[in-house]
Structure formats: structure tokens, C-alpha cells
């Protein structure tokens, strides 16, 4: 059943009610966020997600302030609907990036890549932006709420890119019943509408999906990058390991290739320089992040799927073809509606 055909059905009314808190917060038709993927979540895909009724999120990644400003302006040219910007808290020019978002009246800013500094949250909120942040544990979620964030995203280890150690299902069970003060969006390993529905029924305000949108027609990723996703199964997306116990690095889930193996050697070299006193901890961690930014760019934009990084969530096995973004969003909604319809039919029988 298409979302249009289901406009006034009991199932659609039920779904609208389940994610009403999320849609009200985002200002969208559906509480479906596009995960911010560096080099992938740029103007075209972000605008397409928003135009389809979801909520696109620009990935600032390693962009400087001028390039972020240009990307925001270009996205505004492609959609009149709400979208957000994801900023990495480790970025050396975070304050200037925040200023760019405020100058462009960005309504929602996602602070990612570590615990956001309190001054960043306050500055954004004082200037009218809504702040979302990632909570990898219940204690962190409660701390972020005390700091004043307007919404949380809980992302499990099934996700692509940088991940935490806990699965989406466990995080949802731990955090959703305990955090009611702000909307909570669930992410990680979500590829179908039935999963979206299940988290909504657990109390989520909505869901975030990244991997599912990589093979959208509007996504600018190289055809070779998209083919790698279409061919992959869930078991092909594996996390990296940390070599040096004194050099914390966030694991990255990606399709295994030469790029994954090159990271092990790069991590070993950075660790040696760190232990020799040539790098501070912060400088060493930044080098690791710059490695990933470059490797991902090579794969996404240049199509080097052997040596670049193929960051992908375990839901990659559900990516089977290229589709228009609007069709992906409509498919997710239809799957949720069909699940609701099936329950109602069963109840009548």
C-alpha cells in the first residue's frame, strides 16, 4: 500500500500518531532522518530526502567553514523543506562551523563524534537552533538532557562508519523507557519499515537511516561504490580494531577491502609517533580521523573501492538496487503500514 493511497486509513492514522512527536520536532511528513555520511550526504541527497517527506542531514565532516556555507546555500536552492547539519565535535574549527549554521538559520544541528561541549549546545540554542546529539549509553543520554540538548539519537553497533560497542536493540531497550524529556531517534542497522515501526512502538520519535540511502539515484556516490553496496551482504560489513590501548580510536564499520587493511598499518604508524612523543593524544586521534576522511573520499567520489573506505552498516544486505530517494522513503512507509494493516486484519479475524 502506497503512503498516498493510505492517507486516511486507520493504519496511516496509527503511524502518524506513533511518530507525531518526531514529525513535530523535525517539521516533516515522516520522522525518517537521513544519516549524515561524509562525502555522501551532500546537497543532492539531503534535498531529495527532505523533498520526499523525510529529514535530510548535511554531513559537514572535514569541510571548512566556506565549503559548509556553500553546501548549505546549495541545499536551500534544492528544497524548501527542513533539513539539518551534522557537525563533528573534534573538528578544529567547530566554533566557526557553528557560526556558519547560525548565519544560515539552520534549524537543527546534530553534534556528533564525541560528547558535545556545553558552550556549543548553549550557543546554538541561544540563537534559535535545535540541538541533537548521540547517546551511546543511558548515563550519557541523561547527561546530554541535563546539558540542554533538544533531542537524542541512539545509534547501535550495526551502523556504518564510526560505531559504539552496543547494539541498537539493546540501546533502545535501555534508553527509550528511561528518557521521556526529549524526542529520541533510533539508528543503526535499520533497513525496512517494519523495523522503523517496532522502534516507534517502543517509544522512539523516529528513525535514522544511512546505508539504505547510499544507492539512491540522487546520491552522488561513484557507481563502483554503489555496486559494492548492492553486491554486499550483512556479514561483509565489519568493524575495525584498536591496536594501541593508550590510543583510543572509535571503531569503524565498513566493507572489508585493502583500505581496511591499510588502516591497520596507518594506525600502527600513528601509534608509534604518539608513543615517541611526536604527537599529542588529540593530534594522534585527529590523524586517524583524517585518514578515514581521505579514504572515504577516495571510495565515494573517485570510485577506488579497493583502497578507499567502504563505510557501510549491516543493513547493506538490504540494499539490492538503485532507486529514487522518494521511492525508498515511500517503501519504508508502506512496509510499516502493511505491518499495521496485517495486525488489524488479524485482530478482526
- Report pLDDT digits (tens) over 267-294: 999 999 999 999 999 889 888 888 888 9
By DSSP bridging, strand 184-187 and strand 151-155 are parallel
Residue 70's pLDDT is 98
Q: Which residues contact 234 (CB under 8 A, 6 or more apart)?
A: 314, 315, 316, 317
- Report pLDDT digits (tens) over 61-113: 989 999 999 999 999 999 999 999 999 998 889 999 999 999 999 999 999 98
- Report pLDDT digits (tens) over 9-49: 999 999 999 999 999 999 999 999 999 999 999 999 999 99
Check pLDDT > 80 for residue 4: no
Half-sphere exposure of 143 (CA within 13 A, CB side): 11
Concatenated DSSP letters of 274-321: HHTTSS-HHHHHHHHHHHHHHHHHHHHHH--TTTS-EE--GGGGG--S
By DSSP bridging, strand 151-155 and strand 83-88 are unpaired
110-312-65 Cα angle (round to 5): 35
Check pLDDT > 70 for residue 163: yes
For residues 65 and 97, the answer to whether their CB atoms sit within 8 Å is yes
Check pLDDT > 70 for residue 348: no
By DSSP bridging, strand 83-88 and strand 237-239 are unpaired
- Report pLDDT digits (tens) over 198-235: 999 999 999 999 999 999 999 999 999 999 999 999 99
Cross-strand bridge partners of residue 59: 86
Alpha-carbon distance of 268 to 190, in angstroms, equals 33
Concatenated DSSP letters of 141-188: HHHHHHHT-SEEEEE-TTSSEE--SS-HHHHHHHHTTT--SS-EEEES
Residue 44's pLDDT is 98
Residue 343's pLDDT is 78
Residue keyed to cell 522513503: 329
Task: State what percent of residues in the chain have pLDDT above 90.
Answer: 85
Check pLDDT > 90 for residue 2: no
Residue 1's pLDDT is 63
Check pLDDT > 90 for residue 248: no
Which pLDDT band holds residue 174 (cuts at 50, 70, 90)?
Answer: very high
Q: Where are the domains of the chain?
A: 10-220+322-342, 223-311
Alpha-carbon distance of 306 to 292, in angstroms, equals 14
For residues 58 and 38, the answer to whether their CB atoms sit within 8 Å is no
Q: Which long-range contacts (CB under 8 A, 24 or more apart) does 262-270 make?
A: 262/295, 262/307, 263/291, 263/292, 263/295, 263/309, 264/240, 266/291, 267/242, 267/243, 268/243
pTM of the model: 0.94
Work out whether the CA dihedral 254, 30, 45, 133 comes out positive or negative.
negative
Q: Which residues contact 46 (CB under 8 A, 6 or more apart)?
A: 34, 56, 57, 58, 75, 79, 83
Cross-strand bridge partners of residue 216: 323
- Report pLDDT digits (tens) over 108-123: 999 998 899 999 999 9
Q: What cell does 259 get? A: 583500505
Per CATH, domain 10-220+322-342 is 3.40.50.620: no
Which pLDDT band holds residue 125 (cuts at 50, 70, 90)?
Answer: very high
Amino acid at each position: 500500500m502506497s503512503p498516498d493511497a493510505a492517507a486516511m486509513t486507520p493504519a496511516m492514522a496509527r503511524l502518524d500518531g506513533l511518530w507525531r512527536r518526531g514529525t513535530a520536532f523535525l517539521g516533516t511528513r515522516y520522522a525518517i532522518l537521513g544519516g549524515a555520511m561524509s562525502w555522501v550526504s551532500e546537497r543532492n541527497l539531503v534535498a531529495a530526502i527532505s523533498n520526499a517527506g523525510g529529514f535530510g542531514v548535511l554531513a559537514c565532516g572535514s569541510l571548512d567553514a566556506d565549503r559548509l556555507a556553500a553546501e548549505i546555500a546549495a541545499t536551500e536552492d534544492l528544497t524548501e523543506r527542513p533539513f539539518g547539519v551534522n557537525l563533528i565535535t573534534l573538528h578544529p574549527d567547530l566554533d566557526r562551523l557553528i557560526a556558519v549554521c547560525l548565519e544560515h538559520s539552520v534549524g537543527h544541528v546534530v553534534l556528533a563524534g564525541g560528547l558535545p561541549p556545553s558552550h556549543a549546545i548553549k550557543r546554538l540554542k541561544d540563537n534559535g537552533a535545535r540541538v541533537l546529539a548521540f547517546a551511546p549509553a543511558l548515563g550519557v543520554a541523561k547527561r546530554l538532557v541535563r546539558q540542554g540538548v533538544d533531542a537524542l539519537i541512539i545509534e547501535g553497533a550495526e551502523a556504518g562508519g564510526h560505531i559504539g560497542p552496543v547494539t541498537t536493540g539493546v540501546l533502545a531497550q535501555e534508553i527509550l523507557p528511561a528518557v521521556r524529556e526529549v524526542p529520541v531517534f533510533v539508528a543503526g542497522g535499520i533497513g525496512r519499515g517494519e523495523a522503523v515501526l517496532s522502534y516507534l512502538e517502543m517509544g522512539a520519535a523516529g528513525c535514522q537511516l544511512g546505508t539504505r540511502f547510499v544507492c539512491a539515484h540522487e546520491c552522488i556516490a561513484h557507481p563502483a561504490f554503489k555496486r559494492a553496496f548492492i553486491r554486499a551482504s550483512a556479514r561483509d560489513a565489519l568493524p575495525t580494531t584498536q591496536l594501541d590501548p593508550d590510543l583510543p580510536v572509535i571503531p569503524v564499520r565498513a566493507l572489508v577491502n585493502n583500505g581496511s587493511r591499510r588502516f591497520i598499518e596507518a594506525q600502527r604508524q600513528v601509534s608509534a609517533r604518539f608513543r615517541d612523543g611526536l604527537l599529542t593524544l588529540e593530534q594522534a586521534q585527529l590523524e586517524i580521523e583524517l585518514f578515514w576522511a581521505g579514504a572515504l573520499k577516495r571510495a565515494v567520489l573517485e570510485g577506488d573501492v579497493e583502497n578507499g573506505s567502504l563505510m557501510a552498516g549491516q543493513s547493506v544486505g538490504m540494499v539490492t538496487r538503485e532507486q529514487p530517494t522518494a521511492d525508498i522513503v515511500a517503501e519504508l512507509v508502506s512496509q510499516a503500514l502493511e505491518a499495521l494493516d496485517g495486525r488489524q486484519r488479524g485482530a478482526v479475524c
